[in-house]
Amino acid sequence: MEKVRYMISDASSMVNVESHVLRYWEDELELNIPRNEMGHRYYTQENIKEFQYIKELKEKGYQLKAIKMIVHNGDMEQRLPELTGNEADKPGGVKNHQVYFKNPETLALAEAKQSYWQVLPVGPTSFGDSPYQSFSAFAGNPYFIDLDTLKEDGLLLSEEIEEQYWGDDVSEVDYAALYEARFEVLHKAYARSDHKMQEDYQAFLAKSSYWLEDYSFYMALKFHFHGQEWSLWEDGLKFRHKETLRKFEDLLAEEIDFWKFCQYQFFMQWSRLKRYANSKGIRIIGDIPLYVAMDSADVWTHSDLFELDERKKPIHVAGVPPDCFSEDGQRWGNPLYRWKRMKRDHYAWWYQRMKANAALYDVIRIDHFIGIVNYWSIPASCPTAVEGEWRKGPGRHLTKVIRKATKGSDIIAEDLGIVSDKVRALINETGWPGMKILEFAFDGDASNEYLPHQYKNTNCLVYGGTHDNQTLLGYYGNKSDKELKFMMNYLHIKRVSQIPKAMLRAAYASIADTVIFQMQDILELDDTARMNEPSTVGTNWRWRMQPGAFDGKKIKMLRKMCKLYAR
What positions carry a catalytic annotation?
367, 414, 468
The DSSP code for 544 is -
Three-state SS at 531 = coil
For the stretch 364-377, what's the b/e string if a residue is b when 16 or more beta carbons lie within 10 angstroms of its beta carbon?
A: bbbbbbbbbbbbbb
**H or E element in which residue 376 lies:** strand 374-379
Per residue, the 3-state secondary structure of 43-63, as one string, reads ECHHHHHHHHHHHHHHHCCCC
Which amino acid type is present at position 159?
E
DSSP code per residue over 382-403: -SSSTT-EEEE--THHHHHHHH
Cα-only R_g, the chain: 26
* β-bridge partners, 379: 316
DSSP H helices in 280-387: 297-301, 339-344, 348-360
The separation between CA 104 and the C-alpha centre of its own chain, rounded to angstroms, equals: 19
Kind and range of the H or E run holding 425: helix 421-430
What is the C-alpha to C-alpha distance for residues 283 and 363, in angstroms, rounded to an integer?
7
Distance CA 416, CA 418 (A): 7
Residue 94: beta bridge partners? 117, 517
Helix extents (H) in 477-523: 481-491, 499-509, 519-522
φ/ψ (deg, to 5) at 326: -150, 115
Cβ contact 130:540 at 8 Å: yes
